[in-house]
Amino acid sequence: MTKLRVRIFTISIDGYGAGPEQSPDNPLGVGGRTLHPWLVATRTFQQMHGGEGGTTGADNDFAARGFVNVGAWIMGRNMFGPVRGPWPDETWKGWWGENPPYHNPVFVLTHHARPSITMEGGTVFHFVTEGINAALARATEAAKGQDVQIAGGVETIRQYLRAALIDEMQLAISPVLLGSGEHLFSGIDTLKLGYQCTEHVGTANATHIVLTKRG
């Protein structure tokens, strides 16, 4: 059965998943890069980006789990890129170059239609204007029995979380404070929505937690 998951998503100690003022120079907002040293150091990350070496252990285990049994992805337009409003042209194809790391269909939530984009490595970006349920339905069909994973960003996760559609969230809490930006859980009663912590592992670089929806 296809499940909707969040994995390899990092927040600060004070709950922010991205800093303020996203721009081409700061894709994760001001200070957002400080969230991810735990991930960048792992063998999984290094191999994905053509590097060698990298750390093993719990950090790498959680990073590797993030790509297991994934058949399709969902992301918000802000994660896809910094362009706002109607698409001025079709030159922007994401932050990741010609071969994005997804290697499966990716459904991008947006208010502005755009033709699908086929990239190298099996990634195809589809742009969905009908909302989160339509995106999930299309992603579930495309996943062909595997899981659908929400890549981000924060507001997209919040929309699915408020609707209690996420089956599992694997989060890394990085030992940094951002102070402002996009807060993941603000105004959301995860307990009332039926989520419980089913796993937690601490390392020198992050605290990994898994939240699972009961029932």
Q: Please check whether residue 55 is in contact with residue 42, taking contact to mean a CB–CB distance below 8 angstroms.
A: yes
Which pLDDT tens digit goes with each residue over 99-126? 999 999 999 999 999 999 999 999 999 9
Q: What pLDDT does residue 51 have?
A: 83
How large is the average pLDDT for residues 132-140? 98
**Strand pairing class (4-12; 147-152):** parallel
**Mean pLDDT taken over the chain:** 95
Overall size of the chain counted in residues: 215
Q: Which residues contact 133 (CB under 8 A, 6 or more apart)?
A: none
Domain extents for the chain? 4-84+98-213
Strand partners, 168: 5, 212
pLDDT at 26 over 90: no
The pTM score is 0.94
Residue 215 has pLDDT above 80, yes or no: no
Q: What share of the chain is helix, strand, coil (3-state, %, to 5)?
A: 25, 30, 45
pLDDT of residue 178: 96
**Sign of the torsion angle spanned by Cα atoms 144, 147, 151, 152:** positive
Residue 49 has pLDDT above 90, yes or no: no
Answer yes or no: are the C-beta atoms of 202 and 186 closer than 8 Å.
no
Q: What is the DSSP letter of 160?
A: H
- For residue 23, the model assigns a pLDDT of 83
pLDDT at 179 over 80: yes
Residue 141 has pLDDT above 80, yes or no: yes
pLDDT (mean) for 139-161: 97
**What does the buried/exposed string (b/e) look like for 91-123 if buried means 16 or more CB atoms within 10 Å of the residue's CB?**
eebbeeeeebebbbbbbbbbeeebeebebeeeb
| Superfamily in which the 4-84+98-213 domain is placed by CATH | Dihydrofolate Reductase, subunit A (3.40.430.10)
The rounded percent of the chain whose pLDDT value lies above 90 is 91
